[in-house]
Amino acid sequence: MQGYYAALAGLEAKEGPVVLQLPWLPKTIFRNLGEFLKRLDPFLAALPTTSRLAIEVRTREFLHEELLAVLRKHRTALVLSEVRGMPHAAEVVEHLDVMTSDFFYARLIGDRAVVERKTKTFDKVVLNKSESLGR
């Protein structure tokens, strides 16, 4: 991890947030949010504070105030992403105060399987996402 952060230091002002992208985590890995937070909290505490951090969780059951409290404690942004299996960002912000850092991070990914049924190249727009973006 030290080598990674040393490489980031060379970016200086051009460095953006470090995004920790997690996969969907079934109950065979973490039975509940509490178990997940017992691992996440010390992990975030051990990371250098020189970079801005954002975390993308892809387990919808983890989108609760308890997670946001841990992220606020470590000034880590919650990534809201448009990805299959997760609620739309507009739905999340209706129920939770997602501002856990001094910045916000959103990823508009969509359903890759749907896109790949339409094209194998990513050189043009293949789906109109205006409605989703409008939300």
Looking at residue 49, what is its pLDDT? 85
Looking at residue 67, what is its pLDDT? 98
Give tens-digit pLDDT for 30-84.
999 999 999 999 999 999 888 899 999 999 999 999 999 999 999 999 999 888 8
Looking at residue 77, what is its pLDDT? 97
Give tens-digit pLDDT for 6-32.
787 777 888 889 999 999 999 999 999
Is the backbone of residue 50 left (phi > 0), alpha (psi -120 to 50) or beta? Answer: alpha
